[in-house]
Amino acid sequence: MMAIQHRMVPYLFVLPAIILLLVFVYGPAVENVIYSLYAWSSMSPDWRFVGFGNYGELFANPIFWTALLNNIVYAVVSVLFQVAFALGLAAVLQAGVFGPRLRSFFRTTLFLPSILPVTVVGLLWQLIHQPTIGLIDQLLYTTGLESLSHVWLGEERTALIAVVMVSQWQWTGYMMALFMVAIAAIPRDLYEALELEGASKLQTFRHLTVPGVRESTLIFTVITIFGAFKVFDIVWVMTAGGPNHASEVLGTHMYRSAFRDDVVGYASAVATVIFFLTISVGYVQLKLQRDHG
């Protein structure tokens, strides 16, 4: 009796957390899949069972594919900046190229954008991107480079990349700070050993730093990809997915379907697709980690 009770104790400790997860995470996720099998609107209490009809509509909808492609672009650019470039920045700062005060200054200022609320960032950059009166255009005009000017957020070719770059501005410094911690965990004597052997800074980076933070790189890449597939707020604030769906992402497509088109069942289907996409990415990460570790 006592032995069984003792074995129960750890489970009792995690029970509150599990209940919270079930109620606020797993429960709604399952409910969402059920919702996606019905056609319903927030306006009327009628629900109509349509089975996989919403999914059929989804895969036949060109806007869905545009959004998915945009998310993939988002993911690729984000990994380039928030993983590759951030690692480079972190390595530079950790390599002692700058003195301690300058290093601290750079780390702080590059990190700062990530603590700004997303709506503030969105509005700020919207103003910077404004046609003619925005900072970017003003800069181009005064330096005689008007020919390079575009209506950044209003043209279908530039809207998405403008929003994607704002995300990179916001998060690269944050990832850099995380990488700095990972690099600091590499034993110092390994660096000294390479220095004694006459290795250049670049060689040290390639052969010591990069392999040394391999685990972190994997996790950060996965987190960045997750974020790129779930992105909603920065896009909604800056372009609302426009013009003409050019910057539409799965998040804004889902939101618009639920709160403008009043087809909440279809929106639930989009949400389920996002869920499965991110689960797949997470699964790949787990597999890679297991193979390495």
Residues of this chain that bind other proteins (CB under 8 A): 39, 41-46, 129-133, 151-156, 240, 242-245, 256, 258-264
Range 20-29, long-range pairs (CB < 8 A, 24+ positions): 29/275
- Determine the 3-state secondary structure of 39 from DSSP: strand
For the bound state, the minimum distance from the C-beta of residue 53 to other proteins, rounded and expressed in Å, comes to 10
For the bound state, the minimum distance from the C-beta of residue 4 to other proteins, rounded and expressed in Å, comes to 35
Structure tokens at 210: 């990069």
107 vs 245, beta carbon nearer other proteins: 245
64 vs 191, beta carbon nearer other proteins: 64
161 vs 186, beta carbon nearer other proteins: 161
Range 211-217, long-range pairs (CB < 8 A, 24+ positions): 212/182, 212/183, 212/185, 212/186, 213/87, 213/179, 213/182, 213/183, 213/186, 214/292, 215/289, 215/292, 215/293, 216/178, 216/179, 216/182, 217/83, 217/87
For the bound state, the minimum distance from the C-beta of residue 197 to other proteins, rounded and expressed in Å, comes to 55
88 vs 154, beta carbon nearer other proteins: 154
88 vs 242, beta carbon nearer other proteins: 242
For the bound state, the minimum distance from the C-beta of residue 150 to other proteins, rounded and expressed in Å, comes to 9
Structure tokens at 14: 């995690």
For the bound state, the minimum distance from the C-beta of residue 123 to other proteins, rounded and expressed in Å, comes to 10
